[in-house]
Amino acid sequence: MSKARNFRNLLATEEILVSPGVYDGYSARLVEQMGYKTACSTGAGLANSRLGVPDTGVMGLTDNLDAVRMMARITSIPLMADADTGYGNPVTVYHTARLFEEAGVVGINIEDQVSPKRCGHMAGKDVIDAREMARKIEAACDARRDDDFVILARTDAIAVEGFDAAIRRAQLYVRAGADMIFADAIRTEEEIQRLVDAVSVPISVNMGFGLRARPTTPFIPIARLARLGVKRVTLPRMLPAAAILGMRRALAAMQEDRLNPDAPQRPDLLTDIDDIWSLMGEAHVGEMEARYLNLDGVDY
């Protein structure tokens, strides 16, 4: 079974899909190791980690493709990709969708922001004409070679045109062929319920950091999202935020150790080297070395 067919089958079940955002080999492998059934690439996480820049449209198509191709290759679970605005007009989107499908992901998000885009929770967003976005969705659907490849339409219209306009856009994008809808920066459970009721395809919701955060979408427990009828929840910032906090704590402990000879050791801040090797598949490399580096009996 292809990964795309597997993803479609998961969407057809009653269970809500939880897709952590991944941005490198560690995070992609760890999500699968921890038993998650799906993952998504995080556009902000890739821009931040690969380029060291904010999520303001600086990362281009090639950087994005290189990253998701690697993550799709090293994992067996379905991975959806964030394709930003599609990197151009509807004709460009046709090629963008085909390139992402060839990279091994099971689908893409395309958003209706103007280019250069920015993180959906940042101020200063703007959106393109809804008809142009519908053409982008149509082009992406026409480009796919596998009908199971998922086209998710994201609208950022809530912050620009209001919630009712976002609903109208979502309905238009479904008519254009979108398989899923994602209204970024949605503000309340009531709005989520209205969106679920207003469109005929699965709804994906993007969750933020938790109670300390200040995203425009409040943190809502996954079980409650499921009761609202949400089909998929993404957590694009969770793993980058956790990694930054963990690295900061480890670096602070090292500073304390350098300045204070009596500072306590902090093994609780670090995973074991064997754990890293296991995550990266070191044992499999050893098996291949034992097989292929042994020249005894080679008589082709």
Q: What is the pLDDT of residue 297?
A: 78
Mean pLDDT, all residues of the chain: 92
135 and 179 Cβ atoms separated by less than 8 Å: no
Query: Confidence band (pLDDT; 50, 70, 90) for 219?
Result: confident
107 and 79 Cβ atoms separated by less than 8 Å: no
Q: Is the pLDDT of residue 98 over 80?
A: yes
| Helical (H) or strand (E) element with 192 | helix 189-198
Which strand ranges, in their side-by-side order, compose the sheet holding 39-41? 180-183, 150-155, 107-111, 79-82, 39-41, 17-22, 232-235, 204-206
Tokens of 15: 């269970």
Q: Which pairs from 249-257 meet CB under 8 Å and 24+ separation?
A: none
Range with the lowest mean pLDDT among 162-166, 198-202, 246-250, 293-297?
A: 293-297
Strand, coil or helix: 203 = strand
Query: How far apart are alpha carbons 238 and 236 in whole angstroms?
Result: 6
Query: How far apart are alpha carbons 122 and 140 in whole angstroms?
Result: 26
Structure pTM? 0.92
Mean local confidence (pLDDT), 195-218? 80
Q: What is the pLDDT of residue 99?
A: 98
User: Is the four-CA dihedral 80, 152, 10, 20 of positive or negative sign?
Assistant: positive
Task: Please name each of the domains of the chain with its CATH number.
Answer: 3-243 (3.20.20.60)
| Helical (H) or strand (E) element with 108 | strand 107-111
Q: Is the pLDDT of residue 211 over 50?
A: no
Q: Is the pLDDT of residue 208 over 90?
A: no
Query: Confidence band (pLDDT; 50, 70, 90) for 119?
Result: confident
Range with the lowest mean pLDDT among 12-21, 69-78, 116-125?
A: 116-125
Tokens of 24: 């490198």
